[in-house]
Amino acid sequence: MNATKVSGRKQPLFYRLPVISHFRSSVGLQRGMLVTGLVLSVVFLLVAVFAPWIAPYGFAQLSDAAGPFPTQQPPSPAHIWGTTVGGYDVYSRVLWGAQTAAVVIIVAVAMSIFLGVALGLVSGYFGGWLDRVFVVIADAIYAFPSLLLAIVMSIVISHGQSSFWGGIVACSISISVVFVPQYFRVIRAETIRLKAEPYVESAKVVGASSIRIMGRHIFKNATRTLPLIFTLNASEAILTLAGLGFLGFGIEPTSAAEWGYDLNKAIADASSGIWWTGVYPGTAIVLTVLGLTLVGESINDLNDPRLRGRKKAVAGKGGPDSTAGAQAALEAESRVL
């Protein structure tokens, strides 16, 4: 903690929070990307939380006081985005779908982070044959088409279809099988690097247990890159969930609204010119993934001084120190990788 005092005035906690500090250091186009991404992500989260109140109908509702819903109805005042072949209200299902997607992202990514970080720490810290086995397995899984693995897992877990929570857990596990190797790799590499740091050695000399060293000294330092992987994986999780749903291995339509499933049904509609059943859920996926990816990309660029845009006044006419700065950044980068 003393080190920060040496470097001078300490920023208030608020300005040091991940996304806020990134926002403050961004300019121009990068700030635009970050803000666009943040707006899309926040809208997605708000819709996910408030779907029950915003949506005019339930996700599996087929009729109201005025009688059963018409099927394949083009957008009208009663159903502003039309109805599907099964008689569902497209607008309501798109809104509810945000909730399903959000829950799956959170469960899947939380599970993968927990497992990936734990395995990566243990594997990197202890090394030896255990490490070798983990690495070979992780590499084998990593090289495999992720969607296929997710399909196989979803069949194993739920036999292909299930209730709301059953389906969500099955989908999340299927997705996290794909992600665990990624977290594992990153954390393992960091752990191996940190293991050689003097402060870890001194902790060992003092007699701290392995668990304490891993938990206190390595964990906190090895997880710096996680916010970035989180945003990138969140977008991948949505795509995998939609892919599973599209192929018919996702969540039952009566248990939850899921964009991929709706798109599956919409493919047949498209041939007869019915566009509203596919375009709306599809656009929802694109915007959500776009938002999360933009946030992740911006954080990535802003973390890397070489990619970070400079304010015009500072950039000026290429100061003499820019080469030295970039060189230092390059070295820092190569150490991390």
DSSP 77: S
Q: Are strands 67-68 and 63-64 parallel, antiparallel or unpaired?
A: antiparallel
Binding mask 152-171 for other proteins (x = CB under 8 A): xx-xx--xx-----------
- In the chain, count of helices (H) and strands (E)? 16, 2
Size of the site for other proteins (CB under 8 A): 64
* Segment contacting other proteins by CB under 8 A, of 69-77, 95-103, 110-118, 151-159: 151-159
Judge contact between 140 and 75, C-beta under 8 A.
no
**Nearest Cα residue to 56 out of 108, 99, 93, 2:** 93
Residue 49 sits in the site that holds other proteins (CB under 8 A): no
Interacting residue with other proteins among 175, 297, 299, 302 (CB under 8 A): 297
**Nearest Cα residue to 107 out of 156, 169, 160, 153:** 169
301: amino acid identity, one letter: D
Residue 124 sits in the site that holds other proteins (CB under 8 A): no
Length of the chain: 337
Residue 75 sits in the site that holds other proteins (CB under 8 A): no
Nearer to other proteins, 203 or 279 (CB): 279
**Smallest separation (angstroms) from other proteins to the CB of 291:** 9
Q: What is the distance between the alpha carbons of residues 337 and 335, in angstroms, rounded to a whole number?
A: 6
Q: What is the distance between the alpha carbons of residues 282 and 276, in angstroms, rounded to a whole number?
A: 10
Interacting residue with other proteins among 89, 100, 278, 295 (CB under 8 A): 278
Q: What is the distance between the alpha carbons of residues 205 and 182, in angstroms, rounded to a whole number?
A: 32
The residues that touch other proteins, with contacts defined as CB under 8 A, are 29, 136-137, 139-141, 143-148, 151-153, 155-156, 159-160, 235, 239, 242-243, 246-249, 260, 263-264, 266-267, 270-273, 275, 278-279, 282, 285-286, 289-290, 293-294, 297, 304, 306-307, 309-310, 315-318, 322-323, 326-327, 330, 333-334, 337
